[in-house]
């Protein structure tokens, strides 16, 4: 009887062993799965950091190449080509982002090649049939004169360069190189004089503004501030602007240098987006309404101008505009941008009143509630005449502004761009 039950016992032992092994594997499986998930998360984070570094490096190359394009186009071109080669080998960026950046760099390389050829043409005078009859000594003298004129221009001596070019033209009136040098020198002198006048105007305007500010500043000790004045100032500065919106405003105020020559609209937007490090979204419906495509050519060359100004300049030519909405820069129709209204409250208690709505004390004088209302009206008028005037209802727009005496706040309903200007300085 004992021998007959042996197979049964043996089967039971085998089943118990299998069950125990299954329990061991079951307990190990979650741990192995968790370890794999942690590894994947670390890999994703590492890849994200690497892609951010890659974009930062590419952005730096774009900025550096644009800076060099005027003086050393060959070096700028080489930097762009090296960056494109590295971009082709990159494995950290997403395929879509890699494709966008590749288009941007190819367009920048195309423009840099045009600049390099233009500089080579300027350095090498174009031959003319009449030049063949000139003696070698005349050719050498002509070349030395052209080199001297370029040196004077490079040193900023525009008036001397223009005079030398005129003398060269009077000596060789039929020479195309002398004619080109005279035109270039005259244009350079005119541009230098215009810049000088503009700088003088800015300096004088700034000096007048400083004098006005200085004259409007009360003498030390004449004004009696309440103990909670700093707290009131904090309330005025506490505009409801998110960290992302502040980053966008800062990016739009970044000075950039660009040179677009028959560049595609999409490449221009992508270049600006890369330079300021902020995505720019395009409204396809607005583009179709403006009869503009991604391939529409753009020509623009500016130096050290804010991205905000460049974007407005490019979009304004097609009745387009941008707005800051949902913490992004969105390109849409100018009409839609103006009609996208936002309501915000700006506390101005510290400007209008430091002791409640009844009185405001300056030394021994008291300002009444009537005077506070008058000051409020003056501030409202200042805003409506200096911050996008056409956007306000009194000037035919949609924006409204009102004073709430119970909270000592100005309530403004207008587009996001107006709020960004107000939050960026006037009421902050």
Please give the full DSSP string across 326-358, using - where no structure is assigned: TTEEEEEEHHHHHH-EEEEEEE-HHHH-SS-SS
Identify the domain containing residue 147 by its residue range: 140-192
Q: Residue 281 maps to which CATH number?
A: 3.55.50.30
Query: Do residues 187 and 252 share a domain?
Result: no
Q: What is the mean pLDDT of residues 290-303?
A: 89
Query: Do residues 323 and 275 share a domain?
Result: yes
| 172 found inside a domain | yes
| 66 found inside a domain | no
Q: What is the band of 47 on the pLDDT scale with cuts at 50, 70, 90? A: confident
pLDDT recorded at residue 118: 73
More confident residue, 185 or 321: 321
More confident residue, 376 or 417: 376
Confidence check: pLDDT of 358 > 60: no
pLDDT recorded at residue 265: 92
Query: Do residues 288 and 312 share a domain?
Result: yes
For residue range 209-261, what is the model confidence (pLDDT) as tens digits? 555 555 455 545 444 455 555 665 555 554 556 788 888 888 988 899 999 99
What are the C-alpha distances in Å from 365 to residues 222, 368, 411? 10, 10, 29
Q: Residue 349 maps to which CATH number?
A: 3.30.1370
Cα atoms found within 13 Å of the Cα of residue 416, Cβ hemisphere only:
21
| 311 found inside a domain | yes
Q: What is the mean pLDDT of residues 141-165?
A: 78
6-68 and 73-89 helices, crossing angle to 10°: 170
Confidence check: pLDDT of 343 > 70: yes
Q: What is the band of 281 on the pLDDT scale with cuts at 50, 70, 90? A: very high
Q: Please, are residues 302 and 268 in contact by the beta-carbon 8 Å criterion?
A: no
> What mean pLDDT is reported for the chain?
75
Query: Do residues 350 and 328 share a domain?
Result: no
List beta partners, residue 328: 325
Q: What is the mean pLDDT of residues 322-335?
A: 86
Name which of 338, 333, 337 is nearest 292 in CA terms: 333
| 75 found inside a domain | no
Contacts of 180 (CB under 8 A, 6+ apart): 125, 126
Q: What is the band of 206 on the pLDDT scale with cuts at 50, 70, 90? A: low
| 356 found inside a domain | yes
pLDDT recorded at residue 2: 46
Query: Do residues 264 and 291 share a domain?
Result: yes
More confident residue, 133 or 115: 115
Final residue of a structural domain among 304, 319, 338: 338
pLDDT recorded at residue 345: 85
| Count of domains forming the chain | 3
Identify the sign of the CA torsion 196, 202, 206, 212: positive
Query: Do residues 359 and 330 share a domain?
Result: no
Best-predicted range by mean pLDDT (186-195, 197-206, 411-420): 411-420
Cα atoms found within 13 Å of the Cα of residue 290, Cβ hemisphere only:
25
Query: Do residues 312 and 366 share a domain?
Result: no
For residue range 54-65, what is the model confidence (pLDDT) as tens digits? 888 888 888 888
Query: Do residues 331 and 273 share a domain?
Result: yes
Final residue of a structural domain among 286, 319, 338: 338
Final residue of a structural domain among 338, 361, 390: 338
Q: What is the mean pLDDT of residues 401-422?
A: 82
Query: Do residues 314 and 397 share a domain?
Result: no
Q: What is the band of 132 on the pLDDT scale with cuts at 50, 70, 90? A: very low
- Cα gap 329→349, rounded to integer Å: 32
Q: Please, are residues 341 and 399 in contact by the beta-carbon 8 Å criterion?
A: yes
Confidence check: pLDDT of 194 > 90: no
Q: What is the mean pLDDT of residues 420-428?
A: 61
Q: What is the mean pLDDT of residues 108-129?
A: 70
Q: What is the band of 364 on the pLDDT scale with cuts at 50, 70, 90? A: very low
| 199 found inside a domain | no
Query: Do residues 331 and 266 share a domain?
Result: yes
Confidence check: pLDDT of 422 > 70: yes
| 369 found inside a domain | yes
Confidence check: pLDDT of 272 > 90: yes
Q: How far apart are the first and last CA of the chain?
A: 99
Lowest mean pLDDT among 81-95, 279-293, 363-377, 391-405: 363-377
Which 8-state DSSP code applies to residue 379?
H
pLDDT recorded at residue 11: 57
- Strands 255-264 and 297-306: what pairing? antiparallel
């Amino acid at each position: 009887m004992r021998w007959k039950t042996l197979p049964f016992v043996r089967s039971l032992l085998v089943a118990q062993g299998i069950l125990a092994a299954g329990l061991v594997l079951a307990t190990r499986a979650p741990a192995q799965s968790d370890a794999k998930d942690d590894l994947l998360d670390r890999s994703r984070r590492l890849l994200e950091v690497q892609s951010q570094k890659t974009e930062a490096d590419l952005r730096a190359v774009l900025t550096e190449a644009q800076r060099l394009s005027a003086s050393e186009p060959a070096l700028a071109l080489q930097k762009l080509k090296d960056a494109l080669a590295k971009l082709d080998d990159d494995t950290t960026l997403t395929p879509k982002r890699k494709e966008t950046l590749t288009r941007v760099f190819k367009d920048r390389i195309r423009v840099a090649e045009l600049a390099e050829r233009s500089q080579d043409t300027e350095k090498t005078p174009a031959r003319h049939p009449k030049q063949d009859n000139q003696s070698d000594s005349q050719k050498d003298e002509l070349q030395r004169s052209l080199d001297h004129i370029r040196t004077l221009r490079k040193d900023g001596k525009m008036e001397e360069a223009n005079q030398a070019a005129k003398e060269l033209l009077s000596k060789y009136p039929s020479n195309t190189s002398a004619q080109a040098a005279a035109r270039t020198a005259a244009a350079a002198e005119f541009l230098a004089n215009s810049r000088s006048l503009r700088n003088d105007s800015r300096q004088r305007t700034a000096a007048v503004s400083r004098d006005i500010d200085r004259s409007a500043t009360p003498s030390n000790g004449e004004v009696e501030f309440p103990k909670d004045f700093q707290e009131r100032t904090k309330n005025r500065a506490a505009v409801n602007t998110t960290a992302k919106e502040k980053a966008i405003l800062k990016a739009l105020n970044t000075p950039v240098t660009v040179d677009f020559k028959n560049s595609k609209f999409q490449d221009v937007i992508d270049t600006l987006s890369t330079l300021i490090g902020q995505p720019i979204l395009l409204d396809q419906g607005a583009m179709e309404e403006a009869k503009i495509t991604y391939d529409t050519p753009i020509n623009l060359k500016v130096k050290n101008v804010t991205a905000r100004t460049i974007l407005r300049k490019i979009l304004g030519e097609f009745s387009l505009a941008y707005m800051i909405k949902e913490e992004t820069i969105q390109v849409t129709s100018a009409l839609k941008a103006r009609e996208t209204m936002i309501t915000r409250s700006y506390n101005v208690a510290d400007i209008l009143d430091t002791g409640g709505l009844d009185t405001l004390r300056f030394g021994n004088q008291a300002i009444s509630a009537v005077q506070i209302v008058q000051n409020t009206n003056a501030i409202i008028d200042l805003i409506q005449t200096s911050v996008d005037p056409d956007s306000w209802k009194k000037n035919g727009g949609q924006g409204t502004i009102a004073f709430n005496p119970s909270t000592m706040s100005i309530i403004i309903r207008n587009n996001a761009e107006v709020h960004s200007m107000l939050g960026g300085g006037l009421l902050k």
